[in-house]
Chain A
Amino acid sequence: MINFENIKLKVNDKEITIGAVLESNGSVSNLKTGAWRSKRPVTNLEKCTGCGVCWSLCPEGCIVKRDNGKFETNLDYCKGCGICANECPTNAIEMLMEEK
C-alpha cells in the first residue's frame, strides 16, 4: 500500500500531499473556536437532570458527559450560539455575556 500522506510536493514553497490527501483525524480542533463567542453558557448543575438534550443538539459537539451523569460545555470550542440554553427542558443553562 502506498501511504499518500507521506508523499509531499512543493507548491509555492509550501509542502502539500498528492491529491490533498489527509489523515481523517479531526485536526480542525487545532483552532479553538471558543474565541468566536460573545455569550457563554453556564450550566446550573443542580438543575441539570443529565437528559442529554443539549448534547444531542449542539452543532459543535462540544458538550461532554461528566462522570456524575451531568453535562458540561467545553468552552475551548463553544461558539456561544445558545441552542443548548434555548432547548434545555429544565432551563438549567444560562447565557452570560463574555467580558474581557
Chain B
Amino acid sequence: MAILGLPEEEYFSYGHRACAGCGAALAVRLITKAAGRNSIIVEPTGCIEVVSTPYPETAWKLPWVHGAFENAASIASGVTSALKHLGKEDVNVIVIAGDGATYDIGFGHLSGAFERGHNFTYICYDNEAYMNTGIQRSGATPYAASTTTTPSGKESIGKQEWKKDLVHILAAHGSRYVATASIGYQIDAYKKIKRAIETKGPTFVNLLATCPTGWRTDISKSIEIAKLAVDTGVFPLYEIVDGRHIVNRPKSIEELKPVEEYLRMQGRYRHLFRPERNEEAINFIQQRVKENLRSLLEHVEKGL
C-alpha cells in the first residue's frame, strides 16, 4: 500500500532519540522507504547514528553497518564488492551520512569510492553543521550562519565562507546521477532517492534536513523552513543526469522569494537583523543566490 506515492512500510522505528522536529529523522524515513527491504545501510558517525542506536537498542529494521566518522564510502565499496562476489548484485547499498562526514571528514573516502565507480548510493542528510557534537561549522554551513566555532559578534558575521558545492564536485567524478532534494518537498525527495538507487554506479543525493536545535528554529516549522530554503533559491532543487542539468525548483529568477523570508525565521541568522539590520550582508546573500540560480539555468539552456 502507498500513501501519497510513498510506501506504507516503516524501516526506521519510532522511539528513536532524535530531537522533536528533527529533519534528519524524517529524511531517514524517506530514504528507507525509497530503499525498501532489499537494502544494506552504511552509516558513519553523526546525529542519526547516535539517535538511532542507543546500544543495545536499534531503530533500524534493515541491515545496518556503522563504521567510523570518515569511512562510510569505503565500507560501502567493500560491501558492494562482497555482494558482487556472492552474485547478489540486486541488493541496494546505501550510505546515509551527515554533512560533516560527507563534506569534510569522509570526503577523501567518498571521492575514492566515486572514482572507482562502485555501485552504491550516497545520501547526505545535510543539516549544515556538526549538530550532534554541539553545532560546529562544517563545509556545508552556509555564509553568515552563526555556529559555536563561527560565532557572530561585533567583528564577525558568523561563517565567512560560502557553502561548498559538493554536488558539482561529485558530478565531476563522472557520476550518472547527482541531485539536491529537500525534506520540505518530500515526494520529490523520495523520487530522486529512488532514481539514484536505480541508477547503476555511484550516485549522490544532497538532502536538506532542518535542524531546529542548530538552526535555532521553532520545532513545528521544520518543513516550512525546508520549503522556503528552496523557494528563496538558497537551496535550489536540481539534478545532473548523465552530465546534464535539470532544474526542478525554482524554475526562474522571477519566481524567487526574497532570501530575507528564509533568514528571518532562524536564530542562526539573528545577527543579520538585530540589533540593527545588516543590509550589506543580506544584499550580498540575495545577489549570490540569484547568480547561482542564473548559472544553473544557463547550464540547462545550453544543454550542459
Which A residues lie at the B interface, using CB under 8 A?
16-17, 20, 22-33, 36-37, 51-53, 55-62, 65, 74, 77, 79-83, 85-87, 95
| Chain A residues with CB below 8 A from B187, complex form | 56
| Contact flag A26-B55 (CB < 8 Å), given A57-B186, A81-B20, A86-B223 | no
Q: Please judge, given known A-B contacts A25-B61, A26-B61, whether A62 and B14 are in contact too, CB under 8 Å.
A: yes
- Expressed in whole angstroms, the Cα–Cα distance for A85 and B20 within the complex equals 14
Judge whether A24 and B15 touch: CB under 8 Å.
Answer: no
Give chain A residues whose Cβ lies under 8 Å from the Cβ of B197: none
Q: Which of A22, A53, A79 contacts B58 (CB 8 A)?
A: A22
Interface residues of B in 79-129 (CB under 8 A from A): none
Interface size, B (range):
35 or more
Query: For residues 181 through 207 of chain B, which have their beta carbon under 8 Å from a beta carbon of chain A?
Result: 183, 186-187
Given A33-B17, A86-B224, does the pair A27, B186 have CB atoms closer than 8 Å?
A: no
* Chain A residues within 8 Å of B224, by CB: 86-87
Interface centre among A51, A57, A62, A85 (most CB of B within 10 A): A57
Contact between B15 and A20 (Cβ–Cβ < 8 Å)? no
The answer on a CB contact under 8 Å between B58 and A61 is no
| Cβ contact within 8 Å between A29 and B13 | yes
Q: Which residue of B lies closest to A65 (CB)?
A: B3
30 A-B pairs in the complex with CB atoms less than 8 angstroms apart: A22-B53, A22-B57, A22-B58, A23-B58, A25-B61, A26-B13, A26-B58, A27-B57, A28-B59, A31-B15, A31-B17, A33-B15, A55-B3, A56-B3, A56-B4, A56-B6, A56-B186, A58-B26, A58-B29, A59-B21, A59-B25, A61-B12, A61-B13, A61-B14, A74-B14, A77-B15, A79-B21, A80-B20, A81-B219, A83-B222
Shortest Cβ gap from A19 to chain B (Å): 10
Known: A31-B15, A61-B10. A79 touches B59 (CB 8 A): no
Query: Which B residues touch A25, using CB under 8 A?
Result: 58, 61
